Structure 1
Amino acid sequence: MNDTIHCNTTDLQKYLHFIYAVTYTVILVPGLIGNVLALWVFYAYVKETKKAVIFMINLAIADLAQVLSLPLRIYYYLNHSWPFGEFLCMFCFYLKYVNMYASIFFLACISVRRCMFIIYPLRFSATKRRFDLYLSVGGWFIVCVSCLPFPLLRQRDSNTLPMNTCFSELPLVPLSPAAGITMMSLAELMGFLVPLALVLTCSWKTAACLREKNCVLQDSGEKHKAFKMVLSCALVFLICFAPYHITFPFDFLAKSNKVGNCTFHRAILKGHPITLCLASLNCCLDPIMYYFTTDEFKRRLSRQDIPESFQLHRKFSCTNGEEEKPL
């Protein structure tokens, strides 16, 4: 790892720009519509919904934040130029990783909460909802701080790169092997392996509880819906985030010029962006998960219920306004 090599990768730029532009264009509209609808449903009916709705709201916020940055990314990959300034470049780059690790965090939280609900349904109360809120705030803080190295480890060298270069095409800051291995290990362990273990454990425990005839939650419909939610979280986890974290250490070594074979070096630089595109698909898969695993989401988006929903919302607003006037 002490010997560095330099492979010719200039021809990879068109390939990377093409797959990124296509992927982000495909997920932009469905991701935007799906997450806006999710926030509307969960916010308007937060008192009616239950179980893991607070975590779903935060997951939708994380997905929507990334979707809103996609037009700038699409512009860059189509025009091969970034005219929006260095700060916005680094912020969009940073936002991508904040979305990914916030999604991982909240998917794990949803799985744990649903698993606890099906095993210990009587323990879910307003106190638990407040705890979910505090946990969400703490999760956002940890994720935002932990993702700072992604933009901070990028450097702009005006001698070798044009000023309109952005995102992952910026070279990495040189790191010692010990520092690089430590950072990769922490990112893999805390950012992926621990949440993955939680999600898979919750899936196994939920399935085991459903097989028991003396399970506390006797409503078979509720049990089935809870299992679908936990299983959906696991599938999104494995489809979107597992491939990225498998190739992430190799990509880090390749971009640090620590890979001694140019063929393997090029294969990594071609394969890792595909896994990054898969990670971006969670913006579209999460709303699909809400629809098929959450009765409130499906019911509120039905044709018959949408007009009633607006009338109910206006009625509550007027009622609250009349009650607050004397105060």
Structure 2
Amino acid sequence: MPSGAVNGSDCDADAKFLNYLYAITYTIILVPGLIGNVLALWVFYAYIRETKRAVIFMINLAIADLAQVLSLPLRIFYYLNESWPFGNFLCMFCFYLKYVNMYASIYFLVCISVRRFLYVIYPFKFNDSKRNIDVYISITGWIAVCLSCLPFPLLRANNNTTTNEKCFMDLPLKDIGVSNSIMTITLAELFGFATPLLIVVYCSWKTIVSLREPHSIAHDLGEKKKALKMILTCAVVFLICFAPYHLSFPLHFLAKADKISSCSQRKAILTLHPVALSLASMNSCLDPIIYYFTTDEFKRRLSRQDMADSMELQMYCNKVFAKKNSRPEL
């Protein structure tokens, strides 16, 4: 065999390392991701009529994160047991759900950034009637993301009919040719990461510029600072969670398609990309941190005093209900 040629498993990543990496990462994400996103949905549902600041998009972001978190136990089982006894459909659905979560998160992080930017720059143009547009934007986004992510499961070949099936990243990649591979990678990188990141950076820059306007009053400055904090936090999540994945994704795609002949390069790519994919999964438990540190309603709802008030109100309602039911019928 020529020097540098791909030589089967010798050029692949260490399977034990990858299994432990995924199992540990998903275990770390599971509990805080579940609690954080359930709390987020509870808080935003309570405050949905109080705030105009991108709450619709935050609810959809929490739903996307929660959907992925609920699939993590099956992923943990697979990587700990190195087998998939749950059938091909569930394998492909969980595999597909991972990418739907990632790109839905990217989409709604962009929507949150744009909405907060527009709210502070054009506060009088945003009202309850226009907030209904956010619902249609969210529906459109879900449709676009779900359709765009279909190639991920469709490009994975699974011809194994035994009970101990392979799943997720262990599935082989279908060969679609060099030109189709380049086109697929380009579209995914351009519309899935580069364009959203540029939009978030633009919103950050324009918000910073607006803070320097001399005629801004104290209230405006406070709102703009809050908006900037949220937008910058969205940008940080982009850089931590999604930048490593999208930088390594083209190389991983080519390596899985056997388009990279160097054994050492292939092994390095197939080892580093799962680390980037694990970082991308962390957004499910990082997004609730965005809500807490950048949303006043979230902090207020989870504050000790507000929790105590809610409990007192619930106890009072229970007493009234019990007293009403205890009255004898005439």
Tell me the TM-score normalized by structure 1. Answer: 0.91
State the distance in 2 between where 1:75 and 1:135 align.
36
**What is the Cα deviation at residue 157 of structure 1?**
3.4
Q: How does 1:14-163 map to 2 (within 5 A)?
A: 14-158=16-160, 163=164
Match of 2:171 in 1: 170
Give aligned pairs, total. Answer: 314
Amino acid at match of 1:257: D
**What is the Cα deviation at residue 309 of structure 1?**
3.3
Q: Deviations over 1:131-169 (max 9, x none)?
A: 11100000000000110110111112339x984211110
For structure 2, list consecutive stretches of 5 or more residues without a partner in the other structure.
321-330
State the distance in 2 between where 1:72 and 1:36 align.
19
Q: Is the 8 A contact 2:23 2:76 kept in 1?
A: yes
Q: Is the 8 A contact 1:172 1:256 kept in 2?
A: yes
**What is the Cα deviation at residue 7 of structure 1?**
3.7
**What is the Cα deviation at residue 15 of structure 1?**
1.0
Q: Is the 8 A contact 1:121 1:216 kept in 2?
A: no
Secondary structure of 2:304's partner?
coil
State the distance in 2 between where 1:89 and 1:75 align.
12
CA separation of 1:232 and 1:211: change in aligned 2, threshold 3 A:
same
Q: Deviations over 1:160-206 (max 9, x none)?
A: x9842111100011111111111111111111111111001001111
Q: Deviations over 1:243-263 (max 9, x none)?
A: 100000000000000101000
**What is the Cα deviation at residue 218 of structure 1?**
3.9
State the distance in 2 between where 1:260 and 1:205 align.
45
**What is the Cα deviation at residue 292 of structure 1?**
0.4
**What is the Cα deviation at residue 312 of structure 1?**
5.9
Q: Deviations over 1:274-312 (max 9, x none)?
A: 000110111111000100000000000011102323566
For structure 1, list consecutive stretches of 5 or more residues without a partner in the other structure.
319-327
Identity, % of aligned pairs? Answer: 62
State the distance in 2 between where 1:121 and 1:310 align.
35
Match of 1:211 in 2: 212
Tell me the TM-score normalized by structure 2. Answer: 0.90
2:306 matches 1:305 = yes
| Aligned Cα root-mean-square deviation (Å) | 2.2
Q: Is the 8 A contact 1:17 1:77 kept in 2?
A: yes
Instruction: Give the greater-gyration-radius structure (CA).
Output: 2
